[in-house]
Amino acid sequence: MDISKQSIETSPDSVGAGIRAISPMLLGTAPFGIVFGAFALDMGLGIEGGQAMSLLVFAGSAQFVGANLFGQGASIVVIAVTTLFINLRHTLYGASLGPRLLNAKPSERILMSFFLTDESFAIVSQFKEVRARYYWGAALAMYFNWQVWTFVGLVSGSYLKGLVSLSLG
């Protein structure tokens, strides 16, 4: 197999390459993170609750629904089950990506599944074989990016209140 064909079929073995590959999407998700932070604040989650949701759920659509349910007084069980069902599409992503992951132990694959988003899947799925370091670069860059922009939305939420209702309307 020649070098040019191998580079197309197998991802780079570098965290930095994963970060560089996903970097254009980081700016694109910034407004959604800001709006989510402001929305979570408006729904009564507070700064700690809104940031905790981003840290522990890490799925934009599920976070918006979960925050909305919280604001309507739904129980934690209802919120957890609803966000679980919203995120079931990620099992399809995982089923597609799993056989292509190189050198990832089962325990690492479980952890990788938490960080799998639409954006990171789009970046890594272009390869027939994906090296773990490349995946981690893309996935963790998106995770930390989302945390930062959620926090920006949370701390500036009172200033963005009119914008949030306009955006979600």
> What does each C-alpha distance from 63 to 22, 35, 67, 105, 107 come to in angstroms?
21, 11, 6, 29, 26
Query: What digits encode the pLDDT tens for the residues 41-54?
Result: 999 999 999 999 99
pLDDT band with cut points at 50, 70 and 90 for residue 2 = very low
SS (H, E, C) 127-159: CCEEEHHHHHHHHHHHHHHHHHHHHHHHHCCCC
Chain segment 55-89, per-residue pLDDT in tens: 999 988 999 999 999 999 999 999 999 999 998 88
3-17, 25-39, 57-71, 81-95: least confidently modelled range:
3-17
